[in-house]
Structure formats: C-alpha cells, structure tokens
Amino acid sequence: MGEFLSLLPPQAALETFLAAFSASLETETIPTEQSLGRVSATNIVAPHALPSFSRSTVDGYAVRAKDTHGASEGLPAFLKVVGEVQMGTQAEIPLGVGECAIIHTGGMLPADADAVVMVEQTQQASGNEIEVFKAAASGQNMLKAGEDVEADAQILAAGVTLRPAEIGGLMAMGVTTVTVTKRPTVGILSSGDEVIPPSQMIGPGQVRDINSYTLRALVEQHGGIANNYPIIPDNPDDFRNAATKALAENDVVIFTAGSSVSVRDLTAETIDNLGAPGVLVHGVNVRPGKPTILAVADGKPVIGLPGNPVSALVIANIFVTATIQKLSGLASTPLKAQIPAKLMLNLSSQSGREDWIAVKLTETPDGYIADPVFGKSNLIFTLTRAD
Amino acid sequence: MGEFLSLLPPQAALETFLAAFSASLETETIPTEQSLGRVSATNIVAPHALPSFSRSTVDGYAVRAKDTHGASEGLPAFLKVVGEVQMGTQAEIPLGVGECAIIHTGGMLPADADAVVMVEQTQQASGNEIEVFKAAASGQNMLKAGEDVEADAQILAAGVTLRPAEIGGLMAMGVTTVTVTKRPTVGILSSGDEVIPPSQMIGPGQVRDINSYTLRALVEQHGGIANNYPIIPDNPDDFRNAATKALAENDVVIFTAGSSVSVRDLTAETIDNLGAPGVLVHGVNVRPGKPTILAVADGKPVIGLPGNPVSALVIANIFVTATIQKLSGLASTPLKAQIPAKLMLNLSSQSGREDWIAVKLTETPDGYIADPVFGKSNLIFTLTRAD
C-alpha cells in the first residue's frame, strides 16, 4: 500500500474498485409521482394492454374500411352517419354495411369499425349522409388495443433511472407506486488542523472547509444522501474514531484529508486499518488527483480524495459518482453527454496520464471554442470561472 | 389566432414568446449548502482575498529564494532550520540570511520567506542544517495571498446556476447564505372527458392522465415547482374557471388538453380570453407537436401543449424548460450537452419542419449508433424504450 509505487490509469482503477464491493440494494416503495431520478428495483409488467381499447387518432368518422373501397374525389363513397362516439364511454354503436359514426381524437372505436376517415376527407351530403373522398385502409387513423404495450409485457426493468417518460408510462398503466432502491448514504470526513468550518472567521494560517460542501453537492446531484461530519483534527485516534463511526453509519465513506504527506499517510493508514480487504488502489495516473485512495472496508467502499478542492472534485466526479451509481443498482452506466469544442492551443500531457482541464466555452458559427482556465488545483475559483 | 394559418419554426416561436413576458425575479436567502441547482440573484464580491495568506503547495522548507541561488547537486546550498510552521497558525518565524523553516502543504509562509523548496530536493546535513540541491525561484511552490481571488473581486454573478464548485467557492469565502431567485411555480391543467386519474380503474373509452405527471417531473427537473390541478371536464365554464384559478396561483400555466379539434379550439379560446395580449403563436413547425399554443395573459406565460403524451413532452422540453429558465433569472441559456451518434438509416422530413425522433443508442468501437424508436405520438412507451 505504499503511495505511488504503481499508478493505475483511472479506468483500470475504477474497474478494480467497483469489482471489489457489491450493492446491497435495499428498496423502498414510493409514490410514482415522486420517483423522478430514482432507480427502479424490480421489473414491472403491464397489468393490461395500452391502449386498452382501439382509439381514433384523428377527428372524423369510424368506418368499415371495405365500405370505402374505390372511393375518390370523382366517385365518393356515401355513408350513413348512425351515431356519435362520446369521449370516455363505451362505443355501443353497431355499424351495418354502409354505416359510420362520428368519432373524435382519442374516442373508442365501435366494435364493427376497423378504420377512421379524417373529417377533411369527407363532405356533408344530404341528411345523415356523408361523402368519403378517399378509400380507407383497415387500421388507418387509429391505435389498436395493445399497440403501445401488450398486457403482461415488461414496461420497466429493474436498474433504470426514472425519467418523466417512465413516470408517465407507469401512470398510464395505473401503477401509482413504484419500488426503488434506497439512496446510498455517503459519509464525508474532512480533516486538517488548519481547516475550519465556513461559518468561522479565518485566522492566520487557517482555511475554510470547501470539500465537505462541494462533495455534499456532488453526492446529492447523483442521487446519494450526504452526511457531513465535524472536521477531524490531525491525529491517529481522532481519524480512527471518526472513520469507524462514519463507516458504521453510511454505505460509503469519503475522506478529504489535508494535503501534506504526513496527513496523507495518516489517511491511508486509517483507511487500510478500517476493515478487510483495505486499500486496493493508492495513486491514480490522472492530473489533478494523483494521491487518490480506493479501498473497501468490510464490504463498504471507502475513498480517500486529494485535499485540494479542484482535485477532490475531479476525482469525486470519476469515483464517487460511479460508486453511487453502483450502490443505487443502476443496471448500466449512464450515457455521458458531451459538448464537442475546438481547443485553440496545444496542451501537453505526460505519456499514460489522463489530464482533466477546466475550460470556458464560447459559441461561434463554427461550433464551440474551448479556452482552458488554468489554475493550480488549490484554486476553487478556477472551476467557477469554467463551464 | 386561427390554428395553423402560419407555422413558425420552433426557434422563432420561442423568441417571440420569451420576448413577450418578463421575469419578476422574487428572491429568497437560503443556506449556501442547500443551494445546489438554484440561480443566484445578486452579484457577490469577495469579502477578503483567497488564500488570505501565502501558503505552501508542497511539503518542504520555506526559504528566502536568494539564499539558494547557484545551488546544484554538486554544490548544494546549506540552510539552517530555525523552526517549523504549525498548520493553522500564524507563521511567526523570522528568517535571517541562510535560514529556513519546515513547512507542510497548506502551511502559512513566514513573512521573510518568498519560496518553498520541496523536501525531495533537500537532504539532512549535520544538526540543524539541510542541503538544498536546486536553486529556488521567488514564488516557487507557493500560492500568493489573493492568487485565487483578490478582495472585492466578483466571485459570483447574478443569474448563475449554483454547481458544486460555486458552492465550494462561496464556502471558502465564508459566504454561508446566498440570495437566489424563487423557483417559478407552474400550474398544470389537464382536461378531457375521457381522462381519469391514474389511481382509477379505466372503463371503456377512458384513458389515464399521463401528461400531468410527465410535465410535473419535467418542471421539477428544471427547477420549477409544479402544481397539478384536477382534470377539467370539456366545457367552456370549467375551462375558464380552472384557467383563471391556475393563473392567479402560479407564475406559468400549462394546458394539456384533449386532442380533438373541438377541445383544442376550447383550449385556444380559453387561453386567448385569459388576459392580454393573449395567444401569440398557434401552431409550430415541429413534429411531433404542431398544435402548440404560446400565449401571455396579464404578463404571465401560458402554454397550450398537444394532448398526446410524446408530443407534450417534446414541446414542453423546448418551451416549458426555456420559460422556467427565464423566470428563474438565468443570465444565459444553459449549454446543451450532446451525444454524437451515427444514424443507420435515412429519415425524411418536410422542408422547414423540425423533427424530434427518439433513439436508442448502442456503443460501438466507432462511437454510438442511433436506432430510431418509431411510434405514434400517442405512445408513451416509445419514449421509455428510447435513450
């Protein structure tokens, strides 16, 4: 577990780490309308077909398609209007040969009808009769029962993030509660004799705690529940006690320690002694963020982040996010949307190292231009100036 | 206000609409740590410089750079260690010629020091002396006071969405509360004699309300507060009363009406009579979603969405989202991240019309492949099958 003996690339480090713990996936059942962003815990099948009856998709006339065969502008078909389908009711209108019924978009097709003619393709003739100017194909301008979903078809798989569309689909089927995985809890430990809570005035040599709050926000952004703990003084006993408590109370523990070598060593030692198997990865080939620690203690993931606020956010974005996703039971890695942009200068990187660089984007007629916002990884405002 | 006399392209329709109302921007002051995703309402300037003192960025020795000039592996500079800077305290260690102090990452530089030598570039000599193997440049391995932000510099502009980095930046400056704009309230009105609440069993000809819930989720996703109202029966009085109540109680009103022509007309008429100037856009050249209504009533935006669930979501994604952003006081349109993908078949569109097509993405070594998920705009599960 020596620091930096071998630096793993971020992707390999992530795979090693994620393979070393499993998701316990506790679940809870909540109202579907409050399930935005949550992850489904079970497969759900359709309790009935959708639509549950054949519906018109236009305003017009429900017809027997064969009664309109051969109809044209020059030689319209004449049909007798024998009723009007009322919205939201059973369409109990028997249609004989040459008969049709007025129907509105969304209306239920009478049992004898197999197509709908749009009102624009008809004209009122004498009395109860209409002229149809175009032949209708069977199934035209209608949704058949079960065309969206058949009864017993799977409408939601386990491990899916609920978006507005999924919520709508469940509501359409009358599924008003849904079983989702519990949000993973993430304990955030900050340390450093020089670190004080943001509400305090800073004295000489002191800095305010930033990481507890950026990490809290990042955890919430990705569906976790963040639990912040008091800042730990730089000594082994306090480290061990705080870590043990946080590990017992959370599904994940994140350390954001002071950045000096001695405090980094203290963090690594504390994490390694927290439970088996201990530290799996110590040092990742990424800039910023090299001194990252990935560990598992008694089955729970533990992450030691660099102390510098920019490094901590970059690394948390890779490892904390993926940890929350795994513990949420997400079946697949979410798609990562991108903004393609042109970099206007050359940036050098060390061979094998992954570099994360904050940029400011400017829209031009030829697409986005990316201007790097340079800054040391200690400078939080480097990130606020970037997109 | 006749329907579809002239179809505006979506972008032109959006510009016309957004120009016709202004944001009142009521504000509230909340704890910074709870401000994720909120929009800042005021400019904020730095109450002090950050860092507030010159800090070391490495573990090593605080030195007077000129004492190391000419130092090399072969001819090291000898410096006398006269103290150690304790983390989180004033560095009250005067440095005379040829003197240095032990310092840790993040430690405060003694007033006489102007550089830090990394411990790796030194070696313990006899007693209190160290050998320095490399000349230090003034300012090396340290952050100067104010290097992140100068006192009185603007650290946050009004109209910015608070991300983890902004929250961290404010906390670093001791700004533990922040004034943000109030979340806009959005009244959602659903109508249709055939539409029933999702908790009810559907009878013949009936469908469950989907749009109230997909729209609620979309509004929440974009930072608005959604207020759902009972389903309105299809008659003018009920429409007018529900609309008047929703307009009085919300910043925005969305109609998602039945889809038949008569109900669409009723929606358009109700919206137009709700307040001046009334309907601005009726019909947008987009598929799905042509029968969109954009209106302003007594200064408040009112949007009539198509009744079909897919159309309603597509249109809400364009117009409701932008409305919430404007009413939240966002200073610029958020960047739209994209996923470039290759479409494996040709899709035709009508000249001048914008088409929105749901796709399923598959990752391949050459990038993403997009497979369109075809489906009528009545089929909500078209969207749940898509990415």
Q: Which of B74-78, B191-195, B340-344, B363-367 has the highest mean pLDDT?
A: B74-78
**Per-residue model confidence as pLDDT tens digits over A325-351:** 999 999 888 777 677 788 877 877 777
Q: Are B266 and B236 in contact (CB under 8 A)?
A: yes
CB pair distance less than 8 Å for B307 and A147: no
Q: Which of B91, B259, B337 sits opposite A106 (nearest CB)?
A: B259
The residue of chain A with its CA nearest to that of B375 is: A148
Q: Which of the residue ranges A76-90, B204-218, B372-386 would you say has the lowest mean pLDDT?
A: B372-386
A-chain residue closest to B31, CA distance: A199
* Interface with A, mutate which of B212, B213, B315, B377 (most A CBs under 10 A): B213
Nearest-CB residue to A164 (from B33, B171, B214):
B214
Q: Are A292 and A261 in contact (CB under 8 A)?
A: no
Greater confidence (A372 vs B79) lies with: B79
Given the structure tokens 């203290």, which residue do they identify?
A: A266
Q: State which H helix or E strand residue B156 sits in.
A: strand B154-156
- Report residue A164 as tokens: 């507005």
Phi, psi angles (nearest 5°) of residue B367: 110, -175
Nearest CA in chain A to B221: A36
Give pLDDT tens digits for B242-270. Answer: 999 999 999 999 998 765 677 778 899 99
Length of chain A: 387
Using a CB-CB distance cutoff of 8 angstroms, which residues of chain B are in contact with residue A49? none
Residues of B in contact with A202 (CB under 8 A): 48, 52, 174
**Structural contact between residues B270 and B247, judged by C-beta atoms closer than 8 angstroms:** no
Calpha distance B114→A198 (Å, rounded): 28
The one-letter amino acid code at B191 reads S
Q: Which H/E stretch holds residue B372?
A: strand B367-372
Chain A residues with CB-CB distance to B206 below 8 A: 88
ipTM for the assembly: 0.88
pLDDT of residue A137: 95
Tens digits of residue pLDDT in A11-33: 999 999 999 999 988 999 999 99
Contact state of B91 with A215 under an 8 Å Cβ cutoff? no
Under the banding of pLDDT at 50, 70 and 90, the label for residue A2 is very low
Q: How far apart are CA A297 and CA A3, in angstroms?
A: 19
Residues of A in contact with B89 (CB under 8 A): 203-205
Chain B residue with the nearest C-alpha to that of A38: B217
Mutate to test the interface with B, among A50, A57, A105 (most CBs of B within 10 A): A105
Chain A residues lying within 8 Å of B375, measured CB to CB: 148
Task: Pick the more confident residue, B296 or A284.
Answer: B296
Beta strands A27-31 and A177-181: pairing type? antiparallel
What's the pLDDT tens digit per position in A149-192?
999 999 999 999 999 999 999 999 999 999 999 999 999 999 98
CB A68 within 8 A of CB A113: no
Partners of residue A309 in chain B, C-beta under 8 Å: 168, 172
Please state the rounded mean pLDDT for residues A313-322: 94
Residues in chain B: 387
Is A169 within 8 Å of B381 when comparing Cβ atoms?
yes
Q: Which residue, chain included where needed, has tokens 């409701």?
A: B320
Q: What is the pLDDT of residues A180-217, one digit of tens each?
A: 999 999 999 999 888 999 999 999 889 999 999 999 99
* Closest alpha carbon to A109 in A152, A70, A52, A156: A52
The pLDDT, as a whole number, for residue A377 is 67
CB pairs under 8 A between A and B: 305
Of B6, B10, B12, B4, residue with least CA distance to B354: B10
